Structure 1
Amino acid sequence: MRSAPDNEAVDLLARSMGGPSREVMALGTLLKSRLGRFHVLDLGSGAGRNAIYLAGLGALVTAVDASDAHVEALNEIARRIGVDLTAVHARAEQYSPRDDLDLVLCHGILHFISTPMALEVIARLQSKTRLGGIHVITIATFDDKNHIPESFIGQSFDGALRPQHLVQAYDGWRCVAHESYVKRDHHPNDGYHLHPIEKMIFQRPGGEDTAALNVDKHRLLYGDRPDVRTFLQTDKLTRTSSAAAIAALGPPDFSFTTTSAGTQLSFNGVREQGHELVLMFWAQHAAYFENDVLVGYSVYVSDCFHTFHSLSRPPRLET
């Protein structure tokens, strides 16, 4: 008989990664409006920050993680919130998905396996994705720069997956967005660390009835803003509000807000009052405010930021 979950451990995992990603909130809303119910695979789900959100929209979600603790926490959080999903304990290279995927999330795991194996995983995911389906792939390009912890560097392969591998693997698919940035992040009971991130979003082409994902590109205004860097790098400012940041730094060049209703995960744990994520850009510096609290920031290497506003063409008719 399985023992009852450790509530303290579950709560710690629930707030370990914050709330749903901004592109997941945007894509989930668009897919729901077009398809109604849609099929999601969250490969490397962690404790479910994205899976919980998508299941709350009514999506049919399968969340897969190599950590038994994460799967147990996700099942317990889903039970508490009252959403239906399927959580599977498996490694990415061992899991065989269903045949009708509309959205695949693969966040931060493919760089932890060899490139040939990662490419096999991608090919398998592609073969199980419907026409017009969307893949969101995030990899970290670990190296010895940017004060990245040695423990992180040691987990990656010398020949780990790089963006050029993804471009080749998704030949024939449409590359909707590609962003490169170095994110300064933190987790409960852990200090700050840096993730050099490559985020790429692809859509499988299809026939005349396939809806294309429409994207806006926002060109960043690059410039020397040491005041922004100093302000955002100060550990004591982790509870800073967006208003305090604007008072110190002036109005941002761009501000993007994504919201979700209902109960969601956050850096404060399970939150019943919905979730708001605001990204504010000063030059190439992006500050992340979760429910109006500064939780991290990124320095963008790529010259633009993407938002998603529609899926064109009529809804798919159910048979």
Structure 2
Amino acid sequence: MCNTYNEFGRRIASLRKEKGYTQEKISSMLNVTPQAISKWEQGNALPDTLLLPLLSKLLNVSIDYLLTGESSVGKAGPYDGEYQKEAFYWGIQPSELAEQIVDILQGDTANKRLLDVGSGEGRDAIYFAKCGFQVDALEISTPGIEKIKQYSQLSGYSVNILHADMIGYEMSEDYDVLYSHGSLQFLPLEQRRKHFDKYKQRTKLGGLNAHLIFVEKPFVKMAPDWEKNEFFYQSGDLARYYHDWEILRCEESIIDCNSAGVPHRHAVNRIIARKINATRDGF
């Protein structure tokens, strides 16, 4: 146990110094005493678990990395090979779902906070930034992150990049819009409810959640680039997750796709829902 404390302390001290923070600066941002920071770094104590999300954000690492020294960041993402190519795999035009969100808000986007879960190469994240949102782009793929940076420079619009795995990612603040487009099939089946509850909890009153997911249909063949760690949803899953919200749009459709260079189809479900009460969903 002492060895674990010592390793944690060394990581904290190293990350703090890399950021150019003093113990006093960190203590002020965490609302603890400088003596507490010193105890952590000396391996004499661990911070309260409630402080870990904020501490990880301040040091720009995942909670997993803080605790174990290991992180999912840097591991191969499912589209790494495609993102390493010069062309943008998903293109740079915004999705229909992203445009629908902007249309619903009718220009009331300035300074609203938006989290794009599984941003890919950033096509929707940059579009939201163009529309006035303060965007956090959550993405695990290192080549994907580089593409987001590249597109950001080309467009002249910036987003805050969160280089992390969406699975288990702990949000430390609330958002006006929480968005995903074709990424949530990577959530393990047993973790879906937990993640949707967390997304709902971290949405401000009156805020929106918008998702596009892949739905299993017996008449639609599995895509040629479908991964072993991707899991279909069933019709009605999204509506059930948001049964206590105002559902603004919820529809299923069959779309054409040419990913992997092979024409195929997907059955998808899109939802846009608004939080209408202040209950702490799922908690």
Shorter-chain TM range is 0.5 to 0.7
Alignment of 1:71-90 (within 5 A): 71-90=145-164
Unaligned runs of 5+ in 2: 1-82, 279-283
Change (3 A) 1:133 1:113: same
Q: TM-score, normalised by structure 1?
A: 0.55
| In 1: Cα distance, 2:122 partner to 2:101 partner | 17
| In 2: Cα distance, 1:125 partner to 1:68 partner | 24
Change (3 A) 1:155 1:141: farther
In the TM superposition, what whole-angstrom CA distance separates every residue of 1:162-206 from its partner, at most 9, and x where no partner exists? Answer: 24332332231111111111111124x612121111111111104
Tell whether 2:174 aligns with 1:174: no
Change (3 A) 1:179 1:113: same
The structure whose Rg is larger is 2
Given that 2:185 and 2:233 are in contact with CA atoms closer than 8 Å, whether structure 1 keeps it comes out as yes
Q: TM-score, normalised by structure 2?
A: 0.62
SS at 2:157's partner residue? coil
User: 2:134 is aligned with what amino acid?
Assistant: L
User: Per chain length, whose mean CA-contact separation is higher, i.e. which structure has more relative contact order (CA < 8 Å, sep 6+)?
Assistant: 1
Given that 2:97 and 2:270 are in contact with CA atoms closer than 8 Å, whether structure 1 keeps it comes out as no
Counterpart position of 2:105: 31
| In 2: Cα distance, 1:67 partner to 1:153 partner | 15
Change (3 A) 1:149 1:161: closer
Tell whether 2:162 aligns with 1:162: no
In the TM superposition, what whole-angstrom CA distance separates every residue of 1:64-111 from its partner, at most 9, and x where no partner exists? Answer: 122121111101211232212111222212222242311111111222
Change (3 A) 1:167 1:30: closer
Given that 2:116 and 2:180 are in contact with CA atoms closer than 8 Å, whether structure 1 keeps it comes out as yes
Given that 1:102 and 1:129 are in contact with CA atoms closer than 8 Å, whether structure 2 keeps it comes out as yes
Tell whether 2:93 aligns with 1:19: yes
Counterpart position of 1:4: none
Alignment of 1:178-189 (within 5 A): 178-187=250-259
In the TM superposition, what whole-angstrom CA distance separates every residue of 1:275-302 from its partner, at most 9, and x where no partner exists? Answer: xxxxxxxxxxxxxxxxxxxxxxxxxxxx
In the TM superposition, what whole-angstrom CA distance separates every residue of 1:136-162 from its partner, at most 9, and x where no partner exists? Answer: 1111124664343354174434xx432
Aligned counterpart for 2:170 among listed residues 83, 96, 99 = 96
Alignment of 1:46-125 (within 5 A): 46-125=120-199
Change (3 A) 1:146 1:137: same
Change (3 A) 1:56 1:18: closer
Counterpart position of 1:224: none
Change (3 A) 1:190 1:150: closer
Change (3 A) 1:94 1:32: farther
Choose between structure 1 and 2: higher helix proportion.
2
Counterpart position of 2:264: 193
Change (3 A) 1:38 1:32: farther
| In 1: Cα distance, 2:86 partner to 2:225 partner | 24
Report how many aligned residue pairs link the two structures. 197
Change (3 A) 1:15 1:93: closer
SS at 1:93's partner residue? coil
| In 1: Cα distance, 2:145 partner to 2:104 partner | 27
User: 2:262 is aligned with what amino acid?
Assistant: G
SS at 1:11's partner residue? coil
Change (3 A) 1:34 1:81: closer
SS at 1:111's partner residue? helix
| In 2: Cα distance, 1:68 partner to 1:84 partner | 18
Alignment of 1:268-307 (within 5 A): none
Counterpart position of 2:222: 148
SS at 1:34's partner residue? coil
Given that 2:95 and 2:124 are in contact with CA atoms closer than 8 Å, whether structure 1 keeps it comes out as yes
| In 2: Cα distance, 1:39 partner to 1:26 partner | 17
Counterpart position of 1:203: 274
- In percent, how many aligned pairs have the same letter? 21
Unaligned runs of 5+ in 1: 1-7, 208-319
SS at 1:135's partner residue? strand
SS at 2:86's partner residue? helix
Choose between structure 1 and 2: higher strand proportion.
1
In the TM superposition, what whole-angstrom CA distance separates every residue of 1:44-75 from its partner, at most 9, and x where no partner exists? Answer: 11101111111112210011122121111101
